[in-house]
């Protein structure tokens, strides 16, 4: 099936993901060479896997894969902590909990997606950020080659460093396609990870309040 995306070419793709190539023809040429080499390697991978019937529908698949990977990894090209710089002067003595933040990430060991929800709580000291900013931090770290444990800690550290709250706690529930669709093939297995900072490390009341809220 032909879609509009098929008319999008390598140079346009690079211009949208690497705006710095607009004024740097050497860099543009280098990245074009990279993309072409990846496309060739993907053709080889497809052949190795047994896909060798010259199906014209697959001609653009290597290009689509490169494009998808640039999207999966857009977090490398931003600083997620920057979202938290916008703070409000609000008196808030109790925790702020944002739950069920959906995310999609990519297992760095198998390049297989893992996805689920993140729940974030922080007990502000003086700085309160916008609720959508927490979701943007999750997105900025999820859109990279990741492991769930690191993702959980990076979100906690970003909030801890920029907002300097009294405490932070992050929980992530995710399904890993590398676990459910290959290897151990445990379709229903979910991984739950936690990261806590400050008051959330030892205050059992704060912890249980958070765990109850995200149930």
Provide the sign of the torsion angle of the four alpha carbons 15, 18, 23, 27, taken in this order: negative
Catalytic residues: 107-110, 148, 176, 178
Find tokens 């390049």 and name the residue: 111
CB of 168 to Zn ion, least distance (A): 27
- If the CB atoms of residues 42 and 178 are measured against Zn ion, the closer one turns out to be 178
CB of 110 to Zn ion, least distance (A): 4
By the rule CB under 5 A, 151 interacts with Zn ion: no
Convert residues 80-119 into a mask of x (bound to Zn ion by CB under 5 A) and - (unbound): ---------------------------x-xx---------
By beta carbon distance, the residue nearest Zn ion is 178
Residues near 93 by beta carbon (within 8 Å), at least 6 away in sequence: none
By the rule CB under 5 A, 177 interacts with Zn ion: no
Q: Are 137 and 101 in contact (CB under 8 A)?
A: no
Greatest Cα pair distance in the chain:
65
Provide the sign of the torsion angle of the four alpha carbons 32, 37, 41, 43, taken in this order: positive
107 is in an annotated binding site: yes
Between strands 113-123 and 96-107, the pairing is antiparallel
Taking CA atoms, 9 is separated from 12, 25, 79, in Å, by 5, 17, 28
CB of 81 to Zn ion, least distance (A): 26
By the rule CB under 5 A, 178 interacts with Zn ion: yes
178 is in an annotated binding site: yes
Binding site for Zn ion (CB under 5 A): 107, 109-110, 178
Residues annotated in the binding site, as ranges?
107, 110, 178
């Amino acid at each position: 099936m032909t879609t509009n995306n098929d008319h999008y070419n390598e140079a346009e793709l690079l211009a949208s993901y690497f705006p710095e190539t607009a004024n740097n023809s050497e860099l543009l040429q280098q990245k074009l060479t990279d993309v072409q080499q990846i496309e060739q390697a993907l053709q080889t991978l497809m052949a190795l896997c047994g896909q060798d019937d010259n199906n014209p529908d697959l001609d653009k698949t290597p290009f689509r894969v490169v494009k998808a990977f640039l999207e999966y990894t857009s977090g490398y090209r931003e600083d997620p902590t920057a979202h938290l710089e916008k703070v409000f002067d609000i008196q808030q003595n109790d925790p702020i909990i944002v739950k069920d933040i959906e995310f999609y990430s990519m297992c760095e060991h198998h390049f297989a997606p893992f996805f689920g929800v993140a729940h974030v709580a922080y007990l502000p000291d003086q700085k309160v950020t916008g609720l959508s900013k927490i979701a943007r931090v999750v997105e900025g770290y999820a859109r990279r080659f990741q492991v769930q444990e690191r993702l959980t800690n990076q979100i906690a550290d970003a909030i801890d460093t920029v907002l300097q709250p009294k405490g932070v706690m992050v929980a992530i529930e995710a399904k890993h396609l590398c676990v459910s669709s290959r290897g151990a093939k445990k379709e229903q297995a979910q991984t739950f990870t936690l990261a806590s900072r400050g008051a959330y490390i030892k205050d059992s009341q704060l912890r249980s309040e958070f765990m109850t809220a995200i149930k």
